[in-house]
Amino acid sequence: MKLWAYHIAANKLRTTHILSVETESPTVKIFTFKDKQCARAKPGQFLMLWIPSIDEIPLSILNAKENGIVSVAVKKVGEATGAFHEKSVGELVGVRGPFGNSFTLKGGRILMVSGGTGTAPILFLAERLASKTAKLVFVTGAKTREELLFMKRLKRILSGEKTQLIAATEDGSYGIKGLATKPLERLLERERFDMIYTCGPEQMMRKVFDLAEKYGVALEASLERLMRCAIGLCGSCVIGRYRVCKDGPVFTAKQLSDVKSEFGISKRNFNGRKIPL
Amino acid sequence: MLASGILGLSAESLSNIVIGGAGAIVTKSVGLKPRKGYANPTVVQTSYGLINAMGLPNPGITEFVKVIHEAKSFGVPVIVSVYGFSAEEYGTVAKKAVDAGADAVELNVSCPHVEETGSEIGQNPKILAEVVRKVKAVMEKPVFVKLSSNVTNIAEIVEAAAKAGADALTAINTVKAMAIDTETTVPILNNKTGGLSGPAIKPIAIRCVYEIYERVKVPIIGCGGITNWRDAVEFLLAGATAVQIGTAIALKGPSVFKKVTRGIDAYLRRKSFKSVNEIVGLSHCS
């Protein structure tokens, strides 16, 4: 009973003031706020962010610092994220979390593949992991040059000898013309990697997963689904036998091969029905 | 058994619950048509439980029959929770569920956060009786009636349900509740009000089961805030012949069912009871 009360109460919604808002791209803003609990988050974990009287949305944690400062990247995609983009410094938002599991922090030869706002948790991971890796290759993709996220920070982390940053844009306005998955086959053919970490559009991650399988490389991917309770009860976020909020959001290649018929193919909509991605 | 509303929309999640040791599963409530449910926040975590206002999201019975078919292979009874906006609708959905293989239906006449169904039906003995009679008339399988504690006189309600032919009474659904954020001064749930579950409501549920047991001879399924074997035994002593668990899965995972049943067994041995039947309603003898 004591344990129960503690767990539920420990994750109560609390409100906090927005400390800063930065424009990262024409559609993405970075918000920071203070939250002691989420500041202890590990790369891959997510939080539920409440925009009062509007909605509550799941967001990957972009950064969590010892001083209690937490940041998230928000892409304007609908009503809730649109309302969030209107928020300015000093306004109140609500926070629950951190929720879910996290990426394993594996050293060795690492390949990271990110697309769009999926770059946020992978960047967080890269910042924590960079000093421990023997080799770190980071492939990131976006539609256009303006939508390539966190390039400055990525360049800073990936400036060493044993690191490489590869950017891809669909319109060819920067880096390789095409999807983030385009340079992967050649990379995997030429080099041996110990682990691939990926987050981004699910079709992209499915392609990365298929390649990882083909080349026998371990993989962890962070998934997104409709979230409601975030504590493993409501079933809104299920993929196969897994609850993305509780068993994930990070899944290993082995787990993903259990849900091959859904991963990169379908998700559940608001009424629980499976629909194509 | 698994309480309705928890992880009950996909066959794979229900299978995890069976692996966890549930003796029967109750699905999430299903209606005639698909329903999106409410926007977030749909859940508020409080000190001793959860307040939820999901708004009955479900794909509709026509789509849901697939889940029922699949769940039938898990080797435990499948009970389909049913809601409707009229007696007619309850009947149609219940019949389709049973035709798809449901071993019983549980009528959700107690959801506290959707208008014109749920508790608006379960709070009115006349309408409730009409719904139960309608469902009993269209199919053969047992009909459970899940009750709300948000009533002035639960005895009156259960007598109406029993007279109309209810085969079992599930007590209780979540208790209508609300939470307001003090900093922003606004209600947290998108729907403003929702239903409270978890340890906070157990004493209310125990009282309801006790009162129902005194009033009618229909079997009672206890539900509300069970997190361990001791809670379950308390419900049995109050008069329940079975119990449901929901919210506790958030903390203990699906294996909570195994832990509770083992705990009950150990209790029965320690107290030298030969069967669980010996303790059903035992508190009424004192």
Domain CATH number, residue A26: 2.40.30.10
Judged against a pLDDT cut of 90, whether residue A273 lies above it is answered with: no
Please indicate if any CB of chain B lies within 8 Å of the CB of A272.
yes
The answer to whether A1 faces chain B, any CB pair under 8 Å, is yes
Structure confidence at residue A2 (pLDDT): 46
Domain count, chain A: 2
Same domain, A174 and A87: no
Is the same domain home to A260 and A157?
yes
> Residue B81 forms beta bridges with which residues?
B106
Is B189 exposed, middle or buried (CB count within 10 Å of its CB: 0-12, 13-18, 19+)? buried
Give pLDDT tens digits for A5-49.
445 556 899 999 999 999 999 999 999 999 999 999 999 999 999
Cut 0.95: pTM above it? no
Q: Where are the beta strands (DSSP E) in chain B?
A: 25-26, 43-46, 49-52, 78-82, 104-108, 143-147, 168-171, 175-178, 193-197, 220-223, 242-244
Question: Using an 8 Å Cβ cutoff, are B199 and A1 in contact?
Answer: yes
Distance CA B150, CA A108 (A): 60
Query: How far is the C-alpha of A179 from the C-alpha of A159, rounded, in Å?
Result: 23
Contact status of A2 with chain B (Cβ, < 8 Å): no
Interval A227-247 mean pLDDT? 93
* Interface touch B57/A13, C-beta < 8 Å: no
Based on the fold, state whether residues A152 and A217 are members of the same structural domain. Answer: yes
Contacts of B265 (CB under 8 A, 6+ apart): none
Regions in chain B scoring below 50 on pLDDT: none
A117 and A84 both lie in a single domain: no
Considering CB atoms only, which of B54, B60, B186 is closest to A53?
A: B186
- According to DSSP, the residues that pair with A58 across neighbouring strands are A48
B171 token code pair: 């007590």
Question: A53-78, pLDDT tens digit by residue?
Answer: 999 999 999 999 989 999 999 999 99
Residues A168 and A200 in one domain: yes
Which residue is associated with the tokens 């009474």?
Answer: B169
Whether residue B7 and residue A3 make contact (CB cut-off 8 A), yes or no, is no
Q: Min CA distance, B236 vs chain A (Å)?
A: 19
Q: What is the pLDDT of residue A9?
A: 57
Nearest to A50 among B35, B41, B63 (CB): B41
The last residue of a domain, from among A99, A126, A156 = A99
pLDDT computed for residue A118 by the predictor = 96
Cis peptide before B68 (omega within 30 of 0): no
Final residue of a structural domain among A99, A121, A154? A99
pLDDT for B9 equals: 85
- Same domain? For A32 and A156 the reply is no
Q: Which of A150, A153, A181 is nearest to A168 (CA)?
A: A181
Helix and strand totals (H; E) in chain A: 7, 18
A10, A120: one domain: no
Q: Do A140 and A217 share a structural domain?
A: yes
* Chain CA centroid to CA B228, Å: 17
Chain A residues with CB-CB distance to B67 below 8 A: none
Is residue B111 annotated as part of the catalytic site, yes or no?
Answer: yes
**What are the pLDDT digits (tens) for A100-116?**
999 999 889 999 999 99
Q: Which domains does chain B have, with CATH numbers?
A: 11-285 (3.20.20.70)
Partners of A9 on chain B (C-beta within 8 Å) are 45-47
Cβ distance B27 to B79 under 8 Å?
yes
Please tell me whether residues A180 and A242 are part of one structural domain: yes
Phi-psi region of A68 (alpha: psi -120 to 50; beta: other; left: phi over 0): left
Let me know whether A89 and A129 are in one domain: no
DSSP B180: B
Inter-chain touch A229–B52, beta carbons under 8 Å? yes
- Provide the residue range defining the domain that includes A116: 108-276
* Co-location of A132 and A267 in the same domain: yes
Residue A161 and residue A263 share a domain: yes
Domain-terminating residue out of A46, A78, A99? A99
What's the rounded Cα separation, in Å, for the pair B264 and B128? 34
Q: What is the reported pLDDT for B285?
A: 82
Rounded Cα gap, residues B246 and B7, in angstroms: 9
Q: Which of A240, A242, A12, A40 is nearest to B253 (CA)?
A: A242
Domain CATH for A136: 3.40.50.80
Percentage with pLDDT > 70 across chain B? 100
A140 and A180 Cβ atoms separated by less than 8 Å: yes
